[in-house]
Amino acid sequence: MKSRLTGVLIGQIIGIIIVCMISSFIALISFGGIAGVTMASSSEKIFQYVAPLSCPDGTMKYEEYTASYNRPGETNFYVECVAADGSTTDITMQSIGYSLLGFYLACFLPLCIPGGLVAIIIPLFFLRGGKRREPPTASAIETL
C-alpha cells in the first residue's frame, strides 16, 4: 500500500508540473495581445489600478501628449509619481511592468488552478481502485 500511495503522490506532482508548464506557455502566448490592446485603448485606467504598487507614497499623474513632426502625429503617455513634498519621479516603466504582470497572472491562474486540481484528483482514482482488488485465493491456484 505504501508503494501505491507513493506512486499516486509522484503522479500528482508530475501532473501539477505538466499542467503549470502548459498553462504558463499558453499564458505567455496570449497575455501580450490582451495587454497590448487593453493598454492602448484605456491606458490611464490600467495605470490607476497599478498606482498603489508603483507609487505607494504619492499620487499618480498621467499625461498624454502628441508628438507631431508631420500629421497626424504619435500619441504617447508619461506617468509620474508626485510625492507629498512636490517632487516627481518617472514611473512609466514600473507601471507598464506591473500591468503586464497583472495581465500575465490573469491569463495564467484561470488555467493553472483548475488544471492543478484535476491533476491532484485524477491520481486518487488509481489509489481508490487498488483497494477493490482481492488477491487470488489458494483454491484458484490449485485448480490450475
What's the average model confidence in pLDDT over 111-124? 85
CA–CA separation, 25 and 111 (whole Å) = 10
Q: CA-CA-CA-CA torsion for 47, 49, 50, 53, nearest 10 degrees?
A: 140
Name the grid cell of 37.
490592446
Q: How confident is the model at residue 125, as a pLDDT?
A: 76
Average per-residue pLDDT for the chain? 82
pLDDT at residue 43, rounded to an integer? 85
pLDDT at 99 over 80: yes
In terms of average pLDDT, the best of 3-12, 13-22, 57-66 is: 13-22
Starting from the edge strand earliest in sequence, which strands make up the sheet with 59-67, in order? 59-67, 74-82, 88-90
Q: What is the mean pLDDT of residues 49-56?
A: 88
Element spanning 80, H or E: strand 74-82
Backbone angles phi, psi at 111, to 5 degrees: -90, -40
pLDDT reported for residue 22: 92
Indicate if the pLDDT at residue 115 is higher than 80. yes
Q: Give the model confidence (pLDDT) of 68-81 as tens digits.
A: 777 777 778 889 99
Give residue limits of the domains in the chain. Answer: 2-132
